[in-house]
Amino acid sequence: MTRILFLADINSAHTSKWALSLAAKGFTIGIFSLNKAKTDWFKGNVNIEYLSDNIATDVSAKKDIGKLGYVKSVPTLKKVIASFKPNILHAHYASSYGLLGAFSGFHPFIISVWGTDVYEFPKKSFLHRFLFKRNLNKADCILSTSHSMAEETAKYTDSKIEITPFGIDLDVFKPQKVKSLFNERDIVVGTIKTLEPVYGIKYLIEAFAMVSKKHAELPLRLLIVGGGSQEAELKQLCQISGIEDKVKFTGLVKSSEVPMYQNMLDVYVALSDSESFGVAALEASACCKPVVVSNVSGFVEIVENGVTGMIVTKRNAMVAASAIEKLVLDKELAAKMGANGRKRVEELYNWSKNINDIVQIYNSILHSKE
């Protein structure tokens, strides 16, 4: 039985999705994480082993000081490798766990790049760039969830980069009747995002306020799902805009509840300043929702403008309002875009197919080492 050792945040939805899917394929997955597990999602699964419970702290991959924690953990990781005896070491996030994996000296070694590790980390200084390039060059294989992120990664390495989309489970994300927070006649616009400046939620609020005031006769509602540092600020913006009675903030929700909230929406909106791969927008499409997204690389790759949704200029509430208005007023167009979105996800971003592609990559790497 093939044994894969993940170097990854145990609390990441990406980690659990990869681990559970591969475990279902018969792989034995070990997880070495420097963050303590907040839930026991892996408990009871005989093919998943959490290997760092006794040594995990709270190292933050977002703070440079945290990188010292990764390097200090190399001896512990080497002991785990000797005990677990993996066939493949797979680091998720090139600038943190990739650093840890690179220092371990183990091969075959795979790095998956995820976003800020590519777009931000190497641009901080010469040293950051050096470490990033070193990590990539130590890897036997590099994986990226999108073509646009692969192009960015290619600036730092000559190695081949495989595209492995973080696809959608179509049995979970699908159009379905749910118990809604809204009345049946309400027209619900919304987003499911962390409430941080990079995701441009203030532009969504401003755009919604424009549409709501222009069409006061319509029962428009705004749903904002997620938690984050901007929550109080965004609520205040809703008050200032005079729409607080039309807006529902849910706060942080469980990942298992996301399909329910997606199905409460009539139009999904994401106006990010940057996006490596728009998973939530694809989830909305899988639920047959039309989407309005900003013209950043991660969205431009997955949304077919005018077919599955509308791509608008980032940081521009007025153009976003125009797109939202069009979908709110034209239900036939909205339904058509939603159906097209579902079809596109089925063809290109079906997680069942995506995980099979990952299995093929694993097998290819193992065979090449024989």
- What was the pLDDT predicted at 225? 98
Q: Which pLDDT belongs to residue 69? A: 62
Two structure tokens written together for 35: 């963050």
pLDDT digits (tens, 9 = 90+) for 280-337: 999 999 999 999 999 998 899 999 999 999 999 999 999 999 999 999 999 999 999 9
β pairing state of 187-192 and 267-270:
parallel
Set out the domains of the chain in order of their start, with CATH numbers.
3-167+350-368 (3.40.50.2000), 187-348 (3.40.50.2000)
Report the pLDDT averaged over residues 30-43.
91
Q: Quick one: which of 291, 298, 187, 190 has its CA closest to 234?
A: 190
**More confident: 224 or 95:** 224
Picking from 64, 27, 62, 57, the residue whose alpha carbon sits closest to that of residue 45 is 27
- Sheet of 109-113, strands arranged across: 48-50, 28-32, 3-7, 88-92, 109-113, 141-144, 161-163
Helical packing angle, 201-214 and 231-240, nearest 10° = 20
What Rg, from alpha-carbon coordinates, does the chain have? 21
For residue 122, count other CB atoms closer than 10 A to its CB. 24
Q: Residue 8 in contact with residue 97, Cβ under 8 Å?
A: yes
pLDDT band at 35 (very low <50, low <70, confident <90, very high): confident
* Encoded tokens for 70: 């990764």
pTM (two decimals): 0.83
Q: What is the pLDDT of residues 90-100, one digit of tens each?
A: 999 998 899 99
> What whole-number distance in Å separates Cα of residue 86 and Cα of residue 175?
40
Tokens encoding 30? 């070990």
For 328, the enclosing helix (H) or strand (E) is helix 317-329
Contact yes or no for 183/252 (Cβ under 8 A): no
Listing DSSP states for 133-162 in one string gives: HHHHHH-SEEEESSHHHHHHHGGG--S-EE
Residue 68 pLDDT greater than 70, yes or no? no
- How, if at all, do strands 88-92 and 187-192 pair? unpaired
**The token pair that represents 107 in the structure block:** 């091969």
Q: Give, as one character, the DSSP assignment of residue 185.
A: T
> Which of 312, 311, 309 is CA-nearest to residue 339?
309
Decide which of 38 and 212 is more confident. 212
Digit-coded pLDDT (tens) for 257-275 = 999 999 999 999 999 998 8
